Amino acid sequence: MSLKSQDLFNVSNKVVVVTGGSRGIGEMITSGFLANKSKVYITARKEEALVKKAEELSQKYDCECIPVSGDISNTEGIDALVKFLNDAEPDGIDYLINNAGAAWGANYDDFPESGWDKVIDLNLKTPFFLTQKLTPLLEKKATSEDPSRVVNIASIDGLHVPLMETYSYTASKSGIIHLTKHLAKTLVSRNIIVNAIAPGPFDSHMLGKAVNFDYSFIAESVPRKRIGSPEDIAGLCIYLCSRAGAYTIGETITCDGGLAKLL
């Protein structure tokens, strides 16, 4: 047993998969693992940007960041990623971070069915099927002393009702929070621990587009008076994946500067 921080929070030499790792929150989490000497597979649809990001991060952190491009919102894309990982890591993977997500905003009266299908598929169905199909690889590395981990990136919008009219998004995020508990119950006996993080506002394509990349108004509304930083989200994710988080199961931990609870 060691209670030293370098042992408690150690994630070195682990094999990590971060979906949607090419930018935003996924890039922040990927950077955190690379900075602490994990090998990280990142996924996204836009191959050129993904490959460039993987090269940039590998160089910056002197650690292996491997791009795997493809659309994981459907079975075909999920199966292709699972096959790639089985071929590349036959001895197993340690952590799966289900981060890739999409949002859709429209007035209540005009909200289209396509805005449900796209969001529910990627935000809710994909984390289930990707976790299901990667369970054998996660199990290969999992032991009672050092369980494998799944971290689902939810949102505080799954806990409260936001200002914007994003009905399918809030429902998908509420769904992933409950699914996290259900998966946690199923997988704990297989030495796989499942938790979720509910971020508040972070600099990203998704949020930036909605506010013209001016976060000042949002920052003002957060009790901590700023948006989230890479340290905030990477720190929490590393906690959940390391020895320190090995007794925390089925939780959804907010990372929002107090936005969901203190307003």
199 binds ligand NAP (CB under 6 A): yes
Q: Which residue lies nearer to ligand NAP by CB, 10 or 31? A: 31
Please report whether residue 207 would count as binding ligand NAP according to CB under 6 A: yes
The neighbouring-strand residues paired with 27 are none
79 binds ligand NAP (CB under 6 A): no
229 alpha carbon, distance to own chain's centre:
15
CB 39 within 8 A of CB 61: no
Task: Among 14, 16, 22, 57, indicate the residue that binds ligand NAP (CB under 6 A).
Answer: 22
The interface region with ligand NAP, picked from 55-63, 71-79, 139-147, 238-246 by CB under 6 A, is 71-79
- What letter does residue 123 receive in the DSSP assignment? I
Please report whether residue 101 would count as binding ligand NAP according to CB under 6 A: yes
CA distance 208 to 203: 6
Residues 104-163 that bind ligand NAP (CB under 6 A): 122, 153, 155
Selected binder of ligand NAP within 71, 79, 139, 165 (CB under 6 A): 71
How far apart are CB 80 and ligand NAP at their closest, in Å?
Answer: 11
CB of residue 229 vs ligand NAP: minimum separation in angstroms? 12
Choosing from 11, 15, 16, 25, the residue that interacts with ligand NAP (CB under 6 A) is 25
- Residue 73 sits in the site that holds ligand NAP (CB under 6 A): yes
Q: Which residues contact 216 (CB under 8 A, 6 or more apart)?
A: none
**Do 177 and 185 meet the contact criterion of CB atoms below 8 Å apart?**
no
Scan residues 214-253 and list those touching ligand NAP (CB under 6 A).
none
DSSP assignment string, 134-153? HHHHHHHH--SSS-EEEEEE
Residues 6+ apart with CB under 8 A from 180: 152, 154, 194, 195, 196, 250, 251, 252
Q: Does 24 bind ligand NAP (CB under 6 A)?
A: yes
